[in-house]
Structure 1
Amino acid sequence: MPVAIVTGASKGFGRALSHALAARGWELVVDARGAEALKAADFGSSVTLVPGDVTDPAHRADLINAVSRLDLLVNNASALGPSPQPRLASYPLTEFSSVYEANVIAPLALIQLALPLLTKVDGTVVNVSSDAAVEAYEGWGGYGSSKAALDRLSAVLAVEQPSLRVYAFDPGDMRTDMHQAAFPGEDISDRPEPSTVVPSLLKLLDERPPSGRYTK
């Protein structure tokens, strides 16, 4: 039975992906900052819940210690930053630092802990990216630049660890709480549900194309 760690699994894309992997027979370890929301996601008996914040080193250690084998690490948890999104000229630097802590430093720290297990099985790392990593949208300098940094981190990791598959996966706009927070007061009902994007990532996992940046 393959084993995966999925962060940010209580809602949105992380929850949809975790349900899909569990349905395929994967053994999962999942996290989220809210313990009740994680429990309410109702993943089933093959999924181990480890509530916590990925920016906490002790929590990251708990995630890795919960597995003895690891085939897949999905760095899905991320921080949007202030809502509405501020322009760079007035972006609070403490908030900017927090976005990078969640979106760049925490994923790298978890990768570092996971590498000994992943390299044993020629495993896969998925870093969930965004179109804001490659497109310059007004107000997205914090989140977008953090995802651009995560993309570059993914590319360099792929060169340094050629036995692994390392994917920066851009799911596009989705109908999620985070997307709603980015557009407060707007109607985002035209965005696709996260579950409709999951098959694109499952296809990557099944076909294992070369490491790189992929979109849905």
Structure 2
Amino acid sequence: MVEFTPVIILTGSGRGIGFAILQYLLGLPNPPNILATSRNISAIEPLAAAHKNLEVISVDFSAPSSELKTIIPDVVIHTAVSRWGRIDALLLNHGTLDPIAKVDVAALEDWESNYRVNFLSNVELIRNALPELRKSNGRIVLVSSGASSIYFTGWGAYGSTKAALNHLNSTLALEEPSITTIAIAPGIVDTDMQAALRGVHGKVMSSGENAFFNSLKENNSMVKPEDVGAVLANLALQVEKALSGKYLNWDDEILSSYRTRL
């Protein structure tokens, strides 16, 4: 059997969960080839200089749809295939919380931007990667959120995009039987997004909601990026077919085997 190194496209890799995923993958004894995207690549460019198996590209997924239709196939997909000849997994982690605003005051343009980042860009990435993923019997890991089914004041845009992502996950499992697709809720992770939530968006949420998020930080009870990052990375490398189409919490018992280093 011919040995090959799998190729993973990882989005949102510049900070938080995505950066933790990238560090985990690079630290494996036999790391995959990785195409890592981020809007700001300053934190990951030094890693590319040190790791021959890492390619870094700056991509702004909030760009107009007309631009994404060019950037995604001509830059992201093309770079992975031209360099390594295949795509084995998509680990789609990029996203934005904004706008945090009640429906009666939220601007439609802000909702449109949120949907481009959190949902439509994922659709376009998947659509363009499908030919390669079919060849490799590949994997798609979607980073969803508990906000898809738990509701907070002002979170209408973010939560509804994550609910749409879960539906997309199940649809792909039905339509693409050769590809394994899974959506994962990472829990409330100690990242810059949570810091912004506590510091900027508290005035939109109710006092009880605001107190809840502050208490998580004060009690040191948030999920560590490296813990959930390891699970997501392992799923991208070897998720079992029986999990295709499922939406799971990152610490679900069924995922216990993915919580240890490969």
TM-score by length of 1: 0.91
1:102 to 117, 139, 145: 117
Aligned to 2:199: 184
Deviation of the 1:198 alpha carbon: 2.2
Rg comparison, structure with higher value: 2
> Could you give the per-residue CA deviations for residues 80-99 of structure 1, whole angstroms, max 9, x where no partner exists?
113xx211221111101100
1:49 to 35, 56, 60: 56
> Could you give the per-residue CA deviations for residues 113-144 of structure 1, whole angstroms, max 9, x where no partner exists?
10000010110001110000111222211100
Aligned to 2:11: 7
Opposite residue 214 of structure 1, the aligned amino acid is: L
Aligned to 2:71: 59
> Could you give the per-residue CA deviations for residues 142-187 of structure 1, whole angstroms, max 9, x where no partner exists?
1001111111111111100011110111111111111222222657
Deviation of the 1:103 alpha carbon: 0.7
Q: Is the 8 A contact 1:38 1:51 kept in 2?
A: no
Opposite residue 210 of structure 1, the aligned amino acid is: L
The 3 A distance-change label for structure 1 pair 159 and 183 is same
Aligned to 1:213: 247
Identity of aligned residues (%): 30
1:20 to 21, 24, 29: 24
Instruction: Provide the C-alpha distance between the structure 2 equivalents of 1:200 and 1:167, rounded to a whole number of angstroms.
Output: 12
Deviation of the 1:40 alpha carbon: 4.9
Opposite residue 193 of structure 1, the aligned amino acid is: K
Deviation of the 1:214 alpha carbon: 1.6
Q: Is the 8 A contact 2:139 2:239 kept in 1?
A: no
Q: Is the 8 A contact 2:118 2:162 kept in 1?
A: yes
Aligned to 2:86: 69
Opposite residue 108 of structure 2, the aligned amino acid is: L
Secondary structure of 2:140's match? strand
The 3 A distance-change label for structure 1 pair 88 and 63 is same
Q: 1:114-193, aligned counterparts within 5 Å?
A: 114-184=129-199, 186=214, 188=217, 190=220, 191-193=222-224
> Could you give the per-residue CA deviations for residues 40-93 of structure 1, whole angstroms, max 9, x where no partner exists?
5667321100112134423312110112211110111112113xx211221111
Shifted more, 45-54 versus 144-153: the winner is 45-54
Q: Which runs of 4+ in 1 moved over 4 A?
A: 40-43
Aligned to 2:42: 36
The 3 A distance-change label for structure 1 pair 183 and 210 is same
Alignment gaps of 5+ in structure 1: none
The 3 A distance-change label for structure 1 pair 207 and 96 is closer
Opposite residue 248 of structure 2, the aligned amino acid is: Y
2:225 to 191, 194, 201: 194
Q: Is the 8 A contact 1:87 1:140 kept in 2?
A: yes
The 3 A distance-change label for structure 1 pair 113 and 207 is closer
Greater helix share, 1 or 2? 2
Kindly tell me the number of residue pairs found equivalent between the two proteins.
214
1:111 to 126, 138, 147: 126
Instruction: Provide the C-alpha distance between the structure 1 equivalents of 2:26 and 2:43, rounded to a whole number of angstroms.
Output: 18
The 3 A distance-change label for structure 1 pair 146 and 41 is farther
Instruction: Provide the C-alpha distance between the structure 1 equivalents of 2:112 and 2:143, rounded to a whole number of angstroms.
Output: 19
